[in-house]
Structure 1
Amino acid sequence: MLIRLLRRYLARYRRQVAIVTALLLLQSVGNLYLPNLNADIINNGVAVGDTDYIWRTGAVMLGITLLLGLFAVVAVYFASQTSMGVGRDVRGAVFDRVQSFSAREMNRFGTASLITRNTNDVQQVQLFLQIALTILVSAPILAIGGIIMALREDATLSWLIVVIVPLMGAVIGVLLWKAVPLFRQVQVKIDRITQVLREQITGVRVVRAFIRVRSERARFEVVNADLTATSLRVNRIFALAFPALLGIMNLSTVAILWFGAGLVDRGDMPIGNLTAFLQYIMQILFAVMTAVFMVILIPRAEASAQRIVDVLGTTSSVAEPLRPVAPQQLSGLVAFADVTFAYPHGERPVLHDLTFAARPGRTTAIIGGTGSGKSTVVSLVTRSFDVTSGVVLVDGLDVREQSLDGLWSRIGLVPQTAYLFKGTVAQNLRFGNENATDAELWRALEVAQARDFVAAMAGQLEAPIDQGGTNVSGGQRQRLAIARAIVKRPAIYLFDDCFSALDAGTDARLRTALKAETGDATVIIVAQRVSTILHADHIVVLDEGRVVGSGTHDELMQTSAEYREIVESQLGTAAA
């Protein structure tokens, strides 16, 4: 998967990769030539006392060394540019793919895992590419070139290579066999610790309110200890492997000097050639050691690449139609026709044969008990999920045949849990309409009963909002979310139980102002409180995913026992 991922995203960096490869090739050739020059200095300069030859050859060596340093700097620059660019492109691709996911794919991967994949996993691949372009390219050149040059210096001692290289290869093989599965486990456990941290940070108020700090600390310590134990197992493997490789290198040096000294003593090998041979063997072993360093990164990068490819290879279950069809008339009409829906892996459908229509210029309310499928109705209109059977129509056309952007552009959604982004009040309100004027923002705030508290904030429209809107109250957050939908001026308003944090007075004033503001738009209100939907033009009563009543408040009081039960439980028998 790593090779597949890099092949895909390295294509646009061919020029930089070619430059790095050429520079590293020249650098490796230069490094292989230096021991030969060093041998010449010893044999033809030091041994015979030729000072001029020492100076001339030494100057050549110095010039080559400086040139190699320049090559190294330029190669690292282009390698860094390539690896950072690939990291940026992969992060962008993962972000774009996640943005296309439906709720089904989001639930499958989980928020914590998707964050880890787009940060830690991409960083692992990026780090591997950076090191590979600077080390992995030159390592085989140095190893193969070193063997050739060592044989050229003296074939008699070359039998040592036959012993040393396979021995180091065996150590690396065991290292890979043991480490690869552990690195995959590490990535999974990083996901887990991210998930636990996210839950505890997001739900810190609940944790404290229920005095669960100790149990949550214990839960974190369990996953933290699990990750630590797996990481320590990896480190123990490398703690054994590195001394073994260093031991092989040191024993190789001793063996070369031992057997080489005999050859020099008998006059079968010049002392300069022995020095060069030793340097070539060190270059070969250094190349193998750098390969080992890459071994540390490869398993983790491979595991990370697999997780990234899993995201990039996942197609959203809510797909853009191949040939989108635009509605002939943009009226805002929403209709459900025999809709049945079951969540993935659900035991039974949440909605059964749902049929109703929400018409322009009218307020359609959906009410029912907990788990009756009210919010699911909203999710089907916005195509967070697609229906199992039946059809959802917007402007007389199946939502699955319309372009997603075209559908979403006509919808103003206020979710059950209001979410505000880090920025200012104005930036949040302009989220659906970037060209909205300040006057339009204040008008929307007035309708949403949020004008007074925004006017009292330091900076007013430019007052800062923290991530998630944590610096405002729940009711203020909901009113700002309602104002954001109003600023968009959509053809369809979807209010998913978003009046729950408002007091009765504010709720009543908001609904009155909203009625006048929405005009000819279609308004769908999902609510738990009867008082919120008493004056709706059309009320749909759900019970266990089925429509058990439909009409106005007065009509339902006469025809629907389920609706009367809801009214009596909330407003008392007198209201009924």
Structure 2
Amino acid sequence: MQEENKNISLPYFGIPKILPFAKKYKYRIIAMILMGLFSSLVDSCYPLFNQYALNHYVGENTLDTLGLFIALYIGILIVQVSLNFISVFWVSKTELDLNRDLRNTSFNHLQELSFAYFNQNNVGYIHARVMSDSGKIGELMSWRMMDVVWNGSYILFVMINMVRISWRLACMVFVLVPFAIFIIAFFQKRLVKLNRHIRELNSQITSDFNEGITGARSIKTMVIESIIGDGFQKDTETMRHVSVQAARYQAFFYSTVTMMSSIALAIVMWQGGNLTVNNMMLIGTLSVFMSYALGIMDPLHSVITTISSLVSIQVNIERFDRLVNTESDVADSPEVIEKYGDTFNPKKENWEPLIGDVAFKNVDFKYPDGDEMVLENFNLDVPHGTNVAIVGETGAGKSTLVNLVCRFFEPTKGQVLIDGRDARERSQLWLHSNIGYVLQTPHLFSGTVRDNLR
């Protein structure tokens, strides 16, 4: 059974679990937020330039202060472009840095897990945790966060400007906001559910694809190509069907948002047009409201989409947290780590030389994912320099003995002694560094022969 079947929910969408990774970039993130706030403030003021130009230069038929107006506009535009460039660069860098940190943390932790974890979780599942989940979390702490900051502050600044200019007309537009929120949330809830299903199917397809390649020899030997192919085709067809459903909801979703923007614009043109005809509102002011009415729905949609995606990304955070907090079935004690170091920080100056005496003392063993005892009250002494051949039928426990000596698994009961001491009294890295393990099926890593010899 894979770990994703465990139903664990983290509070606050799991964000507190990610904050330690973001802490080292806190000053950069604060600067990003401040630039996002200033950028949205400037963006919300652009329609005010149009208002001034229409009311002053067109309405009063004059060109005085035009040079100053153009210089100010260009100056603000240059500042805005510069801020956007720096913001995009920092946000991208933060995303990539977080992705690197998250993937390094998860990959390094995988190196410390025992064989039992890899027996219970297939390669496709583990690959998705290290790559896909880390990418989603990095995106949340960079682009998604900036979406909320920029769009949320933009909506606030726009509403302040609208109320300041004409609170009556602003209230007419604001009436649509609750309906827009309801409609967007309605579609978004279904889209999140469909997208979650799509990701689950994608993980399954990745797993099937990997097993189809790594198990190619067995598949051909057993002549089950058609069975494996039919299963893979069924999964891909299911994913296509669900993806089409999601695309259909997405199409309705964006059409509805566009319709709400059009309704807001129609209200502004209807009421604002009457006010303009009756000389109660200037044409420039009407232009500002038209720009705001068209522009407020997209940021609203973006904010709700980001908030809704937190439910989806929470799953990624839970899976990542579950991975990095998975305890190995085979782990060195704190006392052993203090003396000998761990896998990535060895204290080789404290390592004793290996003599080579091996002994099994009253060993019982069963695999973590099994119920049947493989060894019961097993005893064996192998002095150093002795050649021993273990002979037996398949499943008798020959490989198990080697795995226990190498400490890939811990005995259920009893002791495995190395040079007269319990193997658990010294570090795994010390033991593995002194053992030559020949695989039944050789594995070559990608790269050159020299790379493999390292």
Q: TM-score, normalization: structure 2?
A: 0.89
Pick the aligned partner of 1:6 from 18, 21, 40.
18
SS at 1:413 equivalent = coil
The whole-number CA distance in structure 2 between the counterparts of 1:242 and 1:212 is: 45
In structure 1, the residue matched to 2:327 is 315
Tell me, yes or no, if structure 1 residue 398 matches structure 2 residue 427. Answer: no
Aligned AA (1:10):
A
CA contact (8 A) 1:184 1:299 kept: no
In structure 2, the residue matched to 1:343 is 367
Higher percent of residues as helix: 2
The whole-number CA distance in structure 1 between the counterparts of 2:98 and 2:360 is: 45
Distance 1:425 1:43, change over 3 A: closer
* CA positional deviation for 1:268: 2.2
The whole-number CA distance in structure 1 between the counterparts of 2:109 and 2:184 is: 37
The whole-number CA distance in structure 1 between the counterparts of 2:184 and 2:139 is: 20
The whole-number CA distance in structure 2 between the counterparts of 1:274 and 1:255 is: 11
CA contact (8 A) 2:120 2:369 kept: no
The one-character-per-residue Cα deviations of 1:453-505 (angstroms, maximum 9, x if unpaired) are xxxxxxxxxxxxxxxxxxxxxxxxxxxxxxxxxxxxxxxxxxxxxxxxxxxxx
The one-character-per-residue Cα deviations of 1:246-268 (angstroms, maximum 9, x if unpaired) are 11011110111111111122222
* CA positional deviation for 1:2: 4.8
CA contact (8 A) 2:365 2:413 kept: yes
Q: Which runs of structure 2 are paired with 1:164-563 in the superposition (5 Å)?
A: 164-292=176-304, 294=306, 297-324=309-336, 330-429=354-453, 431=454
The whole-number CA distance in structure 2 between the counterparts of 1:61 and 1:6 is: 41
* CA positional deviation for 1:175: 2.7
SS at 2:359 equivalent = strand
Higher percent of residues as strand: 1
The whole-number CA distance in structure 2 between the counterparts of 1:23 and 1:74 is: 9
SS at 2:390 equivalent = strand
In structure 2, the residue matched to 1:549 is none
Aligned AA (2:209):
L
The whole-number CA distance in structure 2 between the counterparts of 1:235 and 1:300 is: 17
The whole-number CA distance in structure 2 between the counterparts of 1:43 and 1:53 is: 13
SS at 2:437 equivalent = strand
CA contact (8 A) 1:151 1:158 kept: yes
Answer with 383-392 or 395-404: which moved more.
395-404
In structure 1, the residue matched to 2:107 is 95
The whole-number CA distance in structure 1 between the counterparts of 2:130 and 2:119 is: 16
CA contact (8 A) 2:51 2:285 kept: yes
The whole-number CA distance in structure 1 between the counterparts of 2:110 and 2:59 is: 70
Tell me, yes or no, if structure 1 residue 161 matches structure 2 residue 185. Answer: no
SS at 1:178 equivalent = helix
Which sections of structure 2, spanning at least 5 residues, go unmatched?
1-12, 341-350
Q: CA RMSD, aligned part only?
A: 2.1
SS at 1:354 equivalent = strand
The whole-number CA distance in structure 2 between the counterparts of 1:381 and 1:352 is: 16
* CA positional deviation for 1:55: 4.1
The whole-number CA distance in structure 2 between the counterparts of 1:5 and 1:83 is: 17
The whole-number CA distance in structure 2 between the counterparts of 1:99 and 1:225 is: 35
Aligned residues: 430
In structure 2, the residue matched to 1:27 is 39
The one-character-per-residue Cα deviations of 1:84-139 (angstroms, maximum 9, x if unpaired) are 00011111111001111101111222221111222222223333444225422201
The whole-number CA distance in structure 1 between the counterparts of 2:437 and 2:106 is: 25
Distance 1:39 1:152, change over 3 A: same
* CA positional deviation for 1:209: 4.3
The whole-number CA distance in structure 2 between the counterparts of 1:161 and 1:393 is: 79
Distance 1:177 1:157, change over 3 A: same
* CA positional deviation for 1:39: 1.3
CA contact (8 A) 1:124 1:300 kept: no
Aligned AA (2:101):
D
The whole-number CA distance in structure 1 between the counterparts of 2:60 and 2:220 is: 84
* CA positional deviation for 1:27: 1.0
In structure 1, the residue matched to 2:3 is none
CA contact (8 A) 2:332 2:428 kept: yes
In structure 1, the residue matched to 2:64 is 52
* CA positional deviation for 1:362: 0.7
In structure 2, the residue matched to 1:147 is 159
CA contact (8 A) 1:176 1:295 kept: no
In structure 1, the residue matched to 2:6 is none
SS at 1:191 equivalent = helix
The whole-number CA distance in structure 2 between the counterparts of 1:373 and 1:105 is: 20
SS at 1:219 equivalent = helix
* CA positional deviation for 1:328: 6.5
Q: TM-score, normalization: structure 1?
A: 0.71
The whole-number CA distance in structure 1 between the counterparts of 2:361 and 2:131 is: 43
The whole-number CA distance in structure 2 between the counterparts of 1:55 and 1:45 is: 12
The one-character-per-residue Cα deviations of 1:246-294 (angstroms, maximum 9, x if unpaired) are 1101111011111111112222222222211222333422311322553
CA contact (8 A) 1:182 1:234 kept: yes
The whole-number CA distance in structure 2 between the counterparts of 1:121 and 1:227 is: 19
In structure 2, the residue matched to 1:461 is none
CA contact (8 A) 1:368 1:374 kept: yes
Distance 1:6 1:200, change over 3 A: same
CA contact (8 A) 1:153 1:276 kept: no
The whole-number CA distance in structure 1 between the counterparts of 2:220 and 2:358 is: 43
SS at 1:323 equivalent = helix
The whole-number CA distance in structure 1 between the counterparts of 2:296 and 2:428 is: 58
Which sections of structure 1, spanning at least 5 residues, go unmatched?
432-576
The whole-number CA distance in structure 1 between the counterparts of 2:287 and 2:383 is: 91
The whole-number CA distance in structure 2 between the counterparts of 1:298 and 1:360 is: 58
The whole-number CA distance in structure 2 between the counterparts of 1:67 and 1:158 is: 29
* CA positional deviation for 1:199: 1.6
